[in-house]
Amino acid sequence: MRPGRASTPLRLLRFLPAAATLLAFPAPAAAPPSDLAVKAAFLTKFPAYVAWPAGARPRPGGPVQICLVGGDPFGRLLDEAARGQQIDGHPLQVRRLDAPGQAAGCHVAYVHGGIAPALEGRPVLTVTDARGGAQGGMIHFVIHQGRVRFNIDQAQAAKSGVDISSRLLSLALNVRQRP
């Protein structure tokens, strides 16, 4: 045995109290994502399940634009969720708008506080929080049994020429069918 070094059994004995402490106090579980983080993730996934009319599709090589209209409850969460994401070869781009009249080129519009008449009938997937006055939107976030879920108004989407995939419809809590 070399001088100044404990034998292997002695080193193990010194380590055991520390190991017992670690085992007695397991590492804290990762905190569940916030409701806003879940909504931001949904906003970046919705465009993959939507077809826009010919004149409203992203131009070749151009971005799919997700616009926040009338307020930004997400902060950097939406930017982080969109970073590096692509939909059919189109990068996601987040824009923040003060008014619905600035929504030209938007493919998805999250409207804080309810849908403005300027967006009704336009080929833009409109998303709201149901508690914020969801009249006129196509997808409405709700909290159901403690989880972020969404309802879809397929009739409203049809009025705007937006086609929502049956795969996304199957994930919705409720679907208002086309007339």
Q: Which domains does the chain have, with CATH numbers?
A: 35-176 (3.40.50)
User: Coil, strand, or helix at residue 49?
Assistant: helix
User: Coil, strand, or helix at residue 168?
Assistant: helix
Write out pLDDT tens, residues 75-122: 999 999 999 999 999 999 999 988 777 878 899 999 876 666 677 788
Per-residue confidence (pLDDT) for residue 15, from 0 to 100: 42
What does each C-alpha distance from 122 to 92, 104, 143, 156 come to in angstroms?
20, 10, 27, 10
The closest of 101, 103, 44, 50 to 74, measured between CA atoms, is: 44
Which residues, including other chains, have CB under 8 Å from residue 73's CB and lie 6 or more apart? 36, 112
Write out pLDDT tens, residues 19-61: 444 444 454 555 567 999 999 999 999 999 999 998 888 888 8
Q: What is the largest CA-CA distance in the chain?
A: 87
Q: Residue type for 8, please?
A: T
Per-residue confidence (pLDDT) for residue 115, from 0 to 100: 65
Write out pLDDT tens, residues 147-169: 999 999 999 899 999 999 999 99
Q: Report DSSP state, residue 30.
A: P
Cα(4)–Cα(169) distance, integer angstroms: 70
